[in-house]
Amino acid sequence: MENAAEILSAPVPSVLKSVFGFDDFRPGQEEIVNAILDDRDVLAIMPTGAGKSLCYQLPAIVAGGLTVVVSPLIALMENQVAQLRSVGAPVGVIHSGRERSESIADWRAAEAGEISLLYMSPERLMTPRMLTALGGLNIRCIVVDEAHCVSQWGHDFRPDYLALVELRNHFPGIQIAAFTATADARTREEIVSRLLAPDAQTFLHDLDRPNIDIAIEQKPSGKAGSLDRLALLMDDYRGEQGIIYALSRKNTEEIADDLSRRGFRVAPYHAGLDPATRNERLNAFLTEPDLTIVATVAFGMGIDKPDIRFVFHHDIPASIEGYYQEIGRAGRDGAPARTVMLYSGGDVGRRVRLISRNDDSGNATRAELRRLDELVTLCEQASCRRQALLAHFGQEAPPCGSCDNCREPPTLVDASADAKLVLDAIVASGSMFGPAHIVDILRGADTEKIRARNHDALSAHGAGAHRPATEWRHLIRQMSADKLLLADASYGGLQPGPNANAFLSGETEYAMRKPPAPKTKSRDRKAHASKSPIAPEDQNLLNALKQQRLALARERNVPAFVIFSDRTLIDMAARKPQTREEFGSVFGVGAAKTEAFSDIFTALIREKTG
């Protein structure tokens, strides 16, 4: 294995192969690496799985000096540090979850110039004592990972990140590079203005992930209905791994319990679990081949697990940015992956109430409601989902032909008369009631609430008896998405939206999507499957390599992907290396891993291939 001095003196292509094990850059990586090596401030927007971490890790190793990497989650830092150490890269980490002696050892290594990368949490970095101490080191670059967290208008604002705006004052002239997987135009502008030099170079990578199958469905009525739908979706993926996202800790527990009773191997994961349990479940997810995690939103950030075959949302996420980042955790190996979001008007109402409770000034509430509204529009639209998602991030694309709306275009029916009935019921009742009460008025319900307010005397009372309540709720959701209706942020009352006047004046008509029939069976996976990445005759060898990887991961107490990625094992099974030199030519195998693992895996390959 090369020592640190040898690594630091090597050219970029040599380090790319000898340390990281890659013969070539992925699309878009090389230009970012070169910009950082040219000492330019950089903002890089790259989709999950595009290899953004290498874009700052490689320049740090090649250029010398110290690169400080700011990261929001301990799990994210630990995973990246474990991977870097496994390839022999000189790296350290400081955060609140480590033993003090370990952090001191890494700090002393940084002082001595023995490491090139020092990962830190923002709250540790921005203390006066740490800032003063860092001022005495040979810092070449500061990297802000998950940089969207610095934006107050972004989907994942973190107050600890806001303090990072002072980095420029504390370290004048030091290069800053910011990376994120999702940021709309406004968030990108804010990242640059808060963190970077005015002439910073922005790289907007192709965000499309064509191997991900995208679908959004109306959630079946009742808790049992949504759980049945999840189980039906899971049936196609027995023995494989995925993530199910839910809105609350309670939901994760209930979903995991239900699916476990149905014979699926699942476990909940959320912040309410004790650290030991969270760590145990995370390690199980990373090292075992068939465990599905039911989690709240943060799970999966920064986890380099390539073979997640599905991401299902039991509840609507908070924003398009959050949604795209979460589904981007599927299919990072390039193989087909499936994503399905279940949503309902009730979910949207719960999101609105949560947003309203968490605001101090009103500005944050308006920004979060705007992002939620954008996602609701995506859920209700009849056109291509992928095209709309990419357009949100400023990327033009034709209809994909493979999302649910492209595969089965929704049927549009004229609903002008019924839309006017909805608006009439809302205005006549004072523009202060939510969808449930408006539907009761339209259906002619005899409830205490209706009688107490004399709403049974309204002309709209009973005028909508020709539609079932489910169809009225469906129409109200679509009218909200099309800006004919607005919901009050504090209590959810409906009122006419900005497009209502033009509609009521006769300038426009209104067509709604015909309510979809409930899904009673899963799609045939053959419809969106692709050729297996491994030849049939090599499948048994690949299984044996995976078992060996798992054993080594457990022995070293690290995630399996730290040993080797699935892509590396697939290439290994295809090449069948017999010598150390041949082993070093496998994808993702550098000098450190050749030294550590070549004898073990070549012996296994000889045993299995005779």
State the pLDDT at residue 368. 80
Angle at CA of residue 233, ends 285 and 280, nearest 5°: 15
SS3 readout for 51-112: CHHHHHHHHHHHHCCEEEEECCCHHHHHHHHHHHHHCCCCEEEECCCCCHHHHHHHHHHHHC
Terminal Cα-to-Cα distance of the chain (whole angstroms): 30
State the pLDDT at residue 152. 60
Mean pLDDT by 10 residues, the chain (610 residues): 48 90 92 94 89 94 94 83 92 90 94 95 92 94 91 65 89 94 84 92 91 93 91 91 93 96 95 83 79 86 77 94 91 89 86 73 71 86 91 89 92 92 96 92 95 94 92 86 77 86 88 74 52 76 91 85 87 95 94 95 93
Scanning the structure block, which residue is given the tokens 């890269």? 89
State the pLDDT at residue 271. 84
Query: DSSP alpha helices (H): ranges in 177-219?
Result: 185-195
Helices 363-380, 345-357: crossing angle, 10 deg rounding = 170
Scanning the structure block, which residue is given the tokens 């205490």? 448
Query: Environment class of residue 68 by beta-carbon count within 10 Å: exposed (0-12), middle (13-18) or buried (19+)?
Result: buried
Query: Environment class of residue 222 by beta-carbon count within 10 Å: exposed (0-12), middle (13-18) or buried (19+)?
Result: exposed
State the pLDDT at residue 472. 92
Scanning the structure block, which residue is given the tokens 């994961």? 269
Q: Is the pTM of this model over 0.95?
A: no
Q: What domains does the chain contain, in order, with CATH numbers?
A: 4-204 (3.40.50.300), 212-407 (3.40.50.300), 412-513 (1.10.10.10), 536-609 (1.10.150.80)
What the block records as the tokens of 450 is 């209706």
What the block records as the tokens of 55 is 């874009």
Angle at CA of residue 279, ends 276 and 282, nearest 5°: 150
State the pLDDT at residue 9. 47
What the block records as the tokens of 582 is 């041949």
Task: Give SS3 for 319.
Answer: coil
What the block records as the tokens of 433 is 């009631």
Query: Environment class of residue 181 by beta-carbon count within 10 Å: exposed (0-12), middle (13-18) or buried (19+)?
Result: buried
State the pLDDT at residue 358. 64
What the block records as the tokens of 150 is 């610095």
Task: Give SS3 for 265.
Answer: coil
Q: Rounded to whole angstroms, what are the CA distances from 435 to 380, 432, 485? A: 16, 10, 11
Q: Looking at this protein, which amino acid is placed at residue 477?
A: R
Rounded CA-CA distance 436/153 in Å is 31
